[in-house]
Amino acid sequence: MRTRLRRSLRTRLALLAGIAMLLLNVVVSGFVMFGIHDDVADVRASDVSGRALRVLLMVKRNQLPQVLEPLGLDGIQVVDPAGRAVAWTPNLAGAPRQTAHIPRDQANYVSRSCDLPAFPGRCELVVALRAYQPEGTWIIYAFDPAVPWFVSPQVVLFQIVVSALLVGLTFFGVSRVVARTLAPVSAITKRLAEITADGGGLRVPVPDTDDEIRALAETANQTLERLETARARLEAAMEQQRRFAGDASHDLRSPITAMRAQVEEAMLHPEETDWRETSTQVLASLDRLQAIVTDLLTLTKLDAGAPSDHRPVDLGELVTAETARPRAKRVVTGPEEGVVVMGDRLQLTRLLTNLLDNAERHAETQVTVTVRQEGGRAVLEVLDDGAGIEPAHRELVFQRFTRLDDSRNRDAGGTGLGLPIAREIATAHHGTLTIEDSPKGARFVLRLPLA
């Protein structure tokens, strides 16, 4: 039960509201009793005074008997001018004077006295009336129970009943309001509990109210949507990683298999083998293997976000330096001076080299490299005069270990990682590398933020 109370927000709030209402009723009841106590006491004093007035009239008419009727009071005692008790009700017969309170400047006097001789252990309301006679002043004392602090048991009972009703209504009302308020939360909790790893597309219900719970539901749905997107991206990345691992294994196995075959064939016929030619073939396979491993290491560093030294790099100067080396195809440059970007010079050199190598393998006679500023960005273009790339295949060439059929036929020695590495370097420098339309050949366009 205690565990349930700790876990139930509805019950706890209802209990707190009930306790608050109970405390409020106690305070209000105290003020009410304090307010009506004096009024009830005044009414009681007026009633006692009215009954004692009958005895005063008897004194005025000289018709006072020694034994008086109680008149519904606890007692009546008449004191003559000499201070002697001369008349009384039967319960005060022979009793001494009960009190010495004497009204002086007024005709009557009301007081509250406790432990009087005839009323031990009790508090009495004492009303004293002054009767003026020729022989002196007579005093009529009337006694009746004093009004207690709680006024009467009926008032206490009424207060208890009212408080109980208010506390019960408060508990019930708050419980209902909290239950209706938290009903959407329960629905959200239930729906979230139904979501599993394969539960894509599920959303929590959004209540019609415009409050914090609606904001919670909308935020939960946005979070679920982001999680689904992240899961889709993760699955795509894992699938790409699996394909990458498979393609890497295949591309690594090819030169290893070739070297093994060459060595085994040479060992079968050692006396007939041209070891220089065999060594040349093995070295070629080793070069290919080394190129693949180097590219794999480069991609791993780029994927891991390895820190690089970004400094101002003049793209025109970089192009001039890299194109000065002799190549199999003619390279025409048109660099613009003062096109400076912030980047890692070694990585940008690797990007340009990969683009030049790719263009050289596919160009017929010429490769054109230009550098310029355009729209507040640095633009580097590498254009070859080869067959070009179909628009449908322009993104495929940036996938790892992807080579188009024509490319495979013309360039069996490529690793299939040059262009993916170039794009990763562009992305790491907050730029883009795309293939755009050209009249002839493939036109690779690199855009980087200016320094």
Rounded CA-CA distance 247/237 in Å is 15
Q: Which two tokens stand for residue 393?
A: 């295949």
Q: Which two tokens stand for residue 156?
A: 């206490």
Q: Report how far Cα 258 is from the mean position of its chain's Cα atoms.
A: 61
The residues spanned by each domain of the chain are 11-154, 196-306, 311-449
Q: Residue for token digits 């449908």?
A: 392
Per-residue pLDDT, 408: 39
Rounded CA-CA distance 178/267 in Å is 87
Q: Are 141 and 79 in contact (CB under 8 A)?
A: yes
Per-residue pLDDT, 3: 46
**CATH numeric code, 311-449:** 3.30.565.10
Per-residue pLDDT, 203: 75
DSSP 105: S
CB atoms within 10 A of CB 244: 18
Q: Are 142 and 51 in contact (CB under 8 A)?
A: yes
Rounded CA-CA distance 330/421 in Å is 24
Query: pTM of the predicted model, to two decimals?
Result: 0.47
Q: Give all strands of the β-sheet with 366-374 in edge-to-edge order.
A: 330-335, 366-374, 377-384, 443-449, 432-436
Q: Which option is the CATH number for 196-306: 1.10.3720.10, 1.10.287.130, 3.30.930.10, 3.40.50.2300?
A: 1.10.287.130
Q: Are 15 and 171 in contact (CB under 8 A)?
A: yes
DSSP 119: E
115 burial via Cβ count (<10 Å: 0-12, 13-18, 19+)? exposed
Q: In the beta sheet, which residues pair with residue 377?
A: 374, 449
Overall size of the chain counted in residues:
451
Residues 6+ apart with CB under 8 A from 71: 51, 52, 54, 55
Of 36, 40, 45, 38, the closest CA to residue 73 belongs to 45
Q: Which long-range contacts (CB under 8 A, 24 or more apart) does 182-191 make?
A: 182/9, 182/10, 184/209, 184/213, 184/214, 184/217, 185/213, 185/216, 188/216, 188/217, 188/220
The values of phi and psi at residue 286, to 5°, are: -65, -40
Per-residue pLDDT, 1: 42
Per-residue pLDDT, 324: 84
Rounded CA-CA distance 307/341 in Å is 17
pLDDT per residue over 194-238, tens digit each? 776 555 567 777 777 766 777 877 787 788 778 878 877 888 777
Of 424, 434, 443, the closest CA to residue 348 belongs to 424
H-helix or E-strand spanning residue 19: helix 9-60
Q: Which CATH class is domain 11-154?
A: alpha beta
With a cut of 50, list the residues of the chain below it in pLDDT.
Answer: 1-6, 407-413
